[in-house]
């Protein structure tokens, strides 16, 4: 089972998505006390409040949880389209994330950030650290609306697998993407109780009225009401009327695919900021499930050693005895094909065959033992 820690965890969108996919999230690290407290209200594992730029201390603390997967989204304000177009102090935490990965060397890691972070100096540094540490990287910008989220939100993911090739998950992820973006109506049905709503982003020129028959625009850390005297926008889905309003805080969290049971605590400004900063839960779950499917598929393709080799190395058969076991399985196949299922039902069916009944008791016993061994091998 994958056991993870979440760095720069915020209120827990990434953690919840990975947890929903079946991953054991053992701890979270978050320096902002407001977000850490919110996280604690919704998860059972511990939240450690520490400055992860102190990478030496961070590596020691994180290592105590023995993770084989490290996930995290270093603060991205300085890469944001809506924020400054410069790289300042927060961007250096991308490098801290990379240095922590290098210090611990987990088999897997997932780093999330805004789409434009991929072209930053901070990520160039981090990427170099990852490659020197021996990671194969799958680097992909995902549109959340194609990953089960009713929101047009693009995010960059770097998925690292130790001692693997680059782009290992690219084809799998591509094949799992939806062919059509998810709309609010697709996700909520008619439960929202409205058809149109107003959204006012940081960029004044992009404000508009939207329909629930399209994906929501990116949820940001601000949520403003319809301004008085709103003149309308060429992209408005309908004309302004008395029923048009901005989304509530709770509705914004649902569009981020947090469950309605998720507990939010804090003032409105902080809560809106946590929601805007969060990784959509269903997007995180999509990435986590893709990683799990890749790992499971790789284990199957790296098949185990042959049945005969397994008998020698794991069951301590001599090479001659192992050949005899394989020969008995083949003899059974000539009587009745197992179609690859050497199980109890196959054995029962085999025992009903006239050609099997003609064999001596000793030979039948040897065949039964061989089939049980083949079944054990197949289950690996």
Concerning whether 238 is annotated as a catalytic residue, the answer is no
- Integer angstrom CA distances of residue 309 from 318, 341, 375: 10, 20, 15
- Integer angstrom CA distances of residue 321 from 262, 316, 318, 363, 366: 60, 10, 5, 14, 11
Q: Among 216-230, 277-291, 345-359, which range has the highest average pLDDT?
A: 277-291
Q: Does residue 90 register a pLDDT over 50? A: no
Domains of the chain (ranges; CATH) run 3-179+275-301 (3.40.50.150), 307-378 (no CATH)
Q: What's the rounded Cα separation, in Å, for the pair 95 and 123?
A: 7
Q: Does residue 174 register a pLDDT over 70? A: yes
Q: Does residue 64 register a pLDDT over 80? A: yes
Q: What's the rounded Cα separation, in Å, for the pair 342 and 303?
A: 17
Residue carrying structure tokens 């992860």: 52
- Judge contact between 256 and 151, C-beta under 8 A: yes
What integer pLDDT is reported at residue 201 of this predicted model? 67
- Judge contact between 252 and 184, C-beta under 8 A: no
What integer pLDDT is reported at residue 202 of this predicted model? 64
Q: What's the rounded Cα separation, in Å, for the pair 227 and 246?
A: 10
Lowest-confidence pick of 80-84, 150-154, 199-203, 271-275: 80-84
**pLDDT, tens only, 33-43:** 999 999 999 99
Q: Among 80-89, 167-176, 222-231, which range has the highest average pLDDT?
A: 167-176
Per-residue confidence at 370, pLDDT binned at 50, 70, 90? Answer: very high
Average pLDDT over every residue of 374-380: 84
What integer pLDDT is reported at residue 344 of this predicted model? 82
What integer pLDDT is reported at residue 303 of this predicted model? 56
Is 2 or 79 the better-scoring residue by pLDDT?
Answer: 2
Question: Of the residues 11, 38, 76, 147, which is catalytic?
Answer: 76
**pLDDT, tens only, 11-34:** 999 999 999 999 999 999 999 999
CB atoms within 10 A of CB 145: 25
Arithmetic mean of pLDDT over the chain: 91
Average pLDDT over every residue of 120-145: 95
Is 245 or 341 the better-scoring residue by pLDDT?
Answer: 245
**pLDDT, tens only, 184-208:** 999 999 999 999 999 876 666 677 8
Q: What's the rounded Cα separation, in Å, for the pair 283 and 219?
A: 14
Q: Does residue 89 register a pLDDT over 50? A: no
Is 331 or 86 the better-scoring residue by pLDDT?
Answer: 331
Phi, then psi, of 205 in degrees rounded to 5: -70, -10
């Amino acid at each position: 089972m994958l056991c993870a820690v979440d760095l720069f965890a915020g209120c827990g969108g990434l953690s919840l998505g990975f947890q929903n996919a079946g991953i054991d999230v053992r701890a979270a690290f978050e320096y902002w006390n407001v977000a850490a407290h919110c996280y604690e209200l919704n998860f059972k594992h511990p939240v450690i409040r520490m400055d992860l730029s102190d990478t030496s201390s961070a590596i020691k603390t994180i290592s105590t949880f023995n993770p084989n997967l490290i996930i995290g989204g270093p603060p991205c304000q300085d890469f944001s389209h809506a924020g400054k177009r410069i790289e300042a102090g927060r961007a250096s935490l991308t490098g801290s994330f990379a240095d922590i990965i290098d210090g611990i060397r987990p088999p897997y890691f997932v780093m999330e950030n805004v789409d434009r972070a991929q072209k930053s100096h901070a990520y160039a540094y981090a990427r170099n650290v990852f490659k020197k540490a021996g990671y194969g990287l799958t680097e992909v910008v995902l549109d959340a609306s194609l990953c089960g989220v009713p929101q047009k939100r693009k995010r960059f993911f770097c998925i690292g697998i130790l001692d693997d090739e680059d782009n290992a998950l690219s084809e799998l992820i591509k094949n799992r993407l939806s062919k059509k973006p998810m709309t609010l109506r697709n996700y909520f049905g008619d439960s929202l109780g409205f058809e149109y709503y107003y959204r006012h982003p940081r960029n004044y020129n992009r404000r508009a009225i939207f329909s629930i028959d399209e994906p929501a625009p990116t949820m940001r850390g601000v949520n403003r009401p319809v301004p008085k005297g709103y003149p309308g926008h060429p992209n408005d889905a309908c004309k302004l009327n008395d029923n048009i309003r901005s989304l509530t805080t709770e509705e914004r969290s649902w569009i981020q695919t947090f469950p309605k049971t998720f507990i939010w605590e804090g003032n409105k400004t902080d809560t809106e900021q946590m929601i805007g900063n969060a990784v959509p839960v269903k997007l995180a779950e999509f990435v986590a499930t893709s990683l799990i499917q890749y790992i499971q598929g790789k284990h199957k393709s790296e098949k185990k050693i042959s049945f005969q080799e397994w008998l020698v190395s794991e069951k301590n058969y001599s090479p001659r005895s192992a050949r005899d076991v394989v020969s008995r399985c083949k003899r059974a196949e000539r009587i009745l094909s197992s179609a690859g299922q050497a199980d109890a039902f196959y054995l029962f069916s085999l025992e009903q065959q006239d050609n099997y009944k003609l064999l001596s008791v000793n030979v039948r016993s040897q065949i039964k033992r061989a089939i049980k061994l083949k079944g054990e091998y197949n289950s690996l």
